[in-house]
Amino acid sequence: MCYTMVGLELARVSVVDFTGKLVYDTFVVPEGKILDYNTRWSGLHKSDFVGVKTTLRHVQAVFLSKFSSDSILIGHSLESDLVALRIIHNSVVDTSIVFPHRLGPPYKRALRNLMSEHLGIVIQNAGDEGHDCTEDAVACVKLMNWKLNEDCKVK
């Protein structure tokens, strides 16, 4: 996401499969003029958009062709992503809900903390360079694989 004249808009989409393999990754030209690349959080830079012509409509078309209503989307605070994509999808697994904050909603545990606590993996360690959305997507898949394995041990 980056800040534009229109507000906060989608600027990059990364999708991985359940093995963590990259399935789709693209930068997206926002509708409004970019005011701030939000680099500290997004990892986006002006140079990332040189020659990019992909629009939100293109991304939506790809989603409709690659994923069905039976596809399960996994992510962290996924509602924000779906709003940015302007997509409604019923089959979602949100790691911010699967691993709730001890104080309950509206509080959410940070993805980086969940990865560190449960898997001993450090992510989002780029400092001012921001997050890598592919790294975040892979982290969510790893967390859910871990959770499924842990739940199977109990039963």
Instruction: Kindly report the CATH number assigned to the domain that includes residue 125.
Output: 3.30.420.10
**What is the band of 155 on the pLDDT scale with cuts at 50, 70, 90?**
low
Peptide bond into 106 cis (omega under 30): yes
Greatest C-alpha distance within the chain: 53
Residue 128 pLDDT: 61
Q: Show Cβ contacts of residue 119 under 8 Å, excluding neighbours closer than 6 positions.
A: 142, 143, 146
Phi then psi dihedrals of residue 73, to 5 deg: -95, 130
Residue 43 in this model has a pLDDT that exceeds 90: no
Can you give the pLDDT at residue 129? 67
d(CA 44, CA 89): 26
Backbone angles phi, psi at 93, to 5 degrees: -125, 115
**Percent over 70 (pLDDT), the chain:** 96
In which domain, by residue range, is 106 found?
2-154
The predicted structure's pLDDT at residue 19? 93
**Phi, then psi, of 9 in degrees rounded to 5:** -130, 155
Q: What gap in Å lies between CA 27 and CA 113, rounded to an integer?
A: 27
Number of domains comprising the chain:
1
pLDDT higher than 90, residue 124: no
